[in-house]
Amino acid sequence: MLILGLSAFYHDSAACLVRDGRIVAAAQEERFSRVKHDSSFPRHAVGACLEIAGCSIDDLDHVVFYEKPFLKFERLLETYLRRAPRGFGSYRKVVPLWIKDKLWMKQSIQQQLNYKGDVLFSEHHESHAAAAFFPSPFRSAAILTVDGVGEWTTTAYGRGRDNDLTLNWEVQFPHSLGLLYTAFTYYLGFKVNSDEYKVMGLAPYGQPVYQKQIEERLIKLNEDGSFTLNLDCFDYETGFTMTSESFDRLFGGPPRKPAEPLNQKHKDLAASIQKVIEQVMLRLSRRVLTETGEDRLCLGGGVALNCVANGRILREAGFRDIWIQPAAGDAGGAVGAALAVYHRLLGQPRETDGLSDAMQGGYLGPRFGKEDVRRVLDGAGAQYEELPEDELIRRTCRELESGAVVGWFQGRMEFGPRALGNRSILADPRRPDMQRKLNLRIKFRESFRPFAPSVLEERQPEFFESDHPSAYMLLVAPVSASQRGCIPAVTHVDGSARIQTVNEQQNGRYYRLIRTFANMTGCPLLVNTSFNVRNEPIVCAPRDAYNCFMRTNMDVLVIEDFFLTKKGQTWERP
């Protein structure tokens, strides 16, 4: 039974292939097209998934899209009608596009894939919920999904048990926690649906001095855990911007322009909205706990990528355990939609051992064989050495210890926004100058952006106030007070870190690399940041990695068994 799940046409298009209930491949279109957050039809991603599974379009039993276009269109029309005549300019732009293209989704998908069978449609939040629960390690759990918006729903909760789930409570558009956060992303001069991470990273530099103002003027929290936004302050319903003039008045000026410097007010605003999101998410989670009676929680939807809020839910909401879908945003909708068809529509059983999840460490994308890599490197005129694993790891660790920045490319590409040791840039976390060096000389991005550690799972408690595994880098926890000075490159200004725990079963070579570094230096962690530069997607193929290596000040590149130093290259950028 082969099911293809698709998400597309909003942001982060992706494809996922499920065979007999097991996820065999998943990838985001941006990695192949090299357009960040690519929202076009994921034809490269589909091609890659089929190739990984060794099958063709004709082998597919079902194709499913992650949301329902007609319901979404209904929401658009109703919103325009309710707000008319306001929003006519946007109406004139948006509606014809829908009539021309998006309402013909079924035919368009069939045509793009050259697929003759029927196309199924799952609801947006059902896709998020299925992606959050079905791959989780839990037999039964509460489910909470929070995002910007799908069709109508922006927040939902319910329960999952075995091969079924139900969502029985929701908040509808235009009241949306995701859009509230995105409105601040916009107001702070960052890119919407893309730079929400920057707001989270900026927050610890500020004080939540506007928290009260936001809670009093922008969002009303209701008794049942739901919330209502003050729509006068937002323009996303029918306009071209996220915030309105009332919003500007409330915070004393227009939005920051991207080129303007970040001042204390911007930092305080980031801190304030972050605190509000944490409060609302905590409140909702507690509500979900009492309403469902389930002591385990599955989280999905784009807001579940807010790792600071996740860390607080884990520590404070009262659940025995939580699991977060690593591709919690819309890309993961492709996974959820495919699994929902298998379990809910076809009634196929779901098996779980109660311990491990079904995302396979997130390593669901393509891999490149040794000879493929060799061909690329030879073609580029690269100078390299081929080394056995022991030697490869020892050499890499020696370079890291001496301050080198290493591009590390191994095995299958990660699915989801984080690099988890297969398409990563690595460095020594003990160096005080490393955060600055990585931001400015390697990633070419804002100097305030924090970096995250990969730590040997069994040694996490020595360094962080958490013993909960965090394989997908989706939980933030405090760095132990005694260690804060020791690992400055991964300790944020508020003393926290966004942790990835690594064990040997999940990623053998990466685990052995960190263990060797620990044996050499006593430090069982590395800085792990995604293998890309500002405004580019994470690298996918060896060619992308080599180009990125040559364009930046990266010192060493390791692709599979091949070891390259920048000094060893005889010529500069291609």
- Which single residue is written with the structure tokens 């929701």? 170
41-55: buried (b, 16+ CB within 10 Å) or exposed (e) per residue? bbbbbbebbbebbeb
Closest by CA position to 283, among listed 311, 323, 317, 310: 317
Give min distance, CB of 10 to Fe ion, in A: 8
Complex with Fe ion: residue 147 or 268, whichever CB lies closer: 147
Q: Shortest approach of Fe ion to residue 332 CB, angstroms? A: 9
- Name the segment binding Fe ion (CB under 5 A); options: 46-54, 86-94, 139-147, 217-225: 139-147
Q: Give the nearest distance from C-beta 147 to Fe ion in angstroms.
A: 4
Nearer Cβ to Fe ion (147/457): 147
Q: Which stretch, 143-151, 482-490, 495-503, 546-554, contacts Fe ion (CB under 5 A)?
A: 143-151
For Fe ion, the closer of residues 327 and 490 by Cβ is 327
Mention every residue, 6+ apart, whose C-beta is less than 8 A from residue 200.
Answer: 270, 274, 306, 307, 308
Closest separation in Å from C-beta 185 to Fe ion = 15
Q: Of 132 and 271, which CB lies nearer to Fe ion in the complex structure? A: 132
The count of other CB atoms within 10 Å of the CB of residue 446 is: 15
Pick from 29, 147, 268, 457: which binds Fe ion (CB under 5 A)? Answer: 147
Cα(73)–Cα(110) distance, integer angstroms: 20
**Closest CB to Fe ion among residues 123, 278:** 123
CB of 66 to Fe ion, least distance (A): 8
Helix 43-53 vs helix 105-113: crossing angle, to nearest 10: 50
By the 8 A CB rule, do 157 and 313 touch? Answer: no
Q: Choose the stretch contacting Fe ion; rule: CB under 5 A; options: 89-97, 206-214, 329-337, 537-545.
A: 329-337
CB count in 10 Å sphere of residue 514: 27
- In whole angstroms, how close is the CB of 77 to Fe ion at the nearest point? 20
Nearer to Fe ion, 237 or 330 (CB): 330
Q: How far is the CB of 11 from Fe ion (least distance, A)?
A: 9
> Minimum distance from CB of 67 to Fe ion (Å)?
8
Q: What is the rounded distance in angstroms from the CA atom of residue 27 to the CA atom of residue 163? A: 24
Which of 299, 345, 353 lies closest to 474, judged by CA? 299
In angstroms, the Cα distances linking 431 to 54, 436, 491 are 45, 10, 11
Q: What angle do CA 448, 451, 455 make, to 5 degrees?
A: 160
Question: How far apart are CB 38 and Fe ion at their closest, in Å?
Answer: 16
Chain positions 433 to 462 lying near Fe ion, rule: CB under 5 A, are none
Which residue matches tokens 């001095």?
A: 209
Phi, psi of 209 (to 5 degrees): -70, -20
N-term to C-term CA, the chain: 45
Q: What are the φ/ψ torsions at residue 214 (nearest 5 degrees)? A: -65, -45
Residue nearest to Fe ion (CB): 147
Task: Name the one range near Fe ion by CB under 5 A: 303-311, 323-331, 477-485, 540-548.
Answer: 323-331
Q: Which CB, 14 or 400, lies closer to Fe ion? A: 14
Q: Where are the beta strands (DSSP E) in 22-121?
A: 22-28, 62-65, 119-121
For Fe ion, give the closer residue by CB, 38 or 536.
38
What does residue 301 show for φ and ψ, rounded to 5 degrees?
90, 155
Given the complex with Fe ion, which of 278 and 330 has the nearer CB atom?
330
Give the amino acid at 69.
P
- In the bound state with Fe ion, the residue whose beta carbon lies nearer, of 36 and 543, is 36
Of 269 and 284, nearer to Fe ion (C-beta) is 284
Q: Are 40 and 33 in contact (CB under 8 A)?
A: yes
* Distance between CA atoms of residues 514 and 503, nearest Å: 10
Q: Give the CA count within 13 Å in the CB-facing half-sphere of 25.
A: 25
CA distance 497 to 451: 8
Closest approach, Cβ 514 to Fe ion, in A, equals 33
Q: How far is the CB of 124 from Fe ion (least distance, A)?
A: 6
Listing DSSP states for 518-547 in one string gives HHHHS--EEEEEESS-TTSPPP-SHHHHHH
Rank residues 154 and 439 by Cβ distance to Fe ion and give the closer one.
154
For residue 330, state whether it binds Fe ion (rule: CB under 5 A). Answer: yes
d(CA 402, CA 394): 12
Range in contact with Fe ion (rule: CB under 5 A) among 83-91, 129-137, 327-335, 509-517: 327-335
Distance CA 357, CA 252 (A): 47
CB 551 → Fe ion: shortest distance, Å?
33
Interface residue list for Fe ion (CB under 5 A): 147, 330
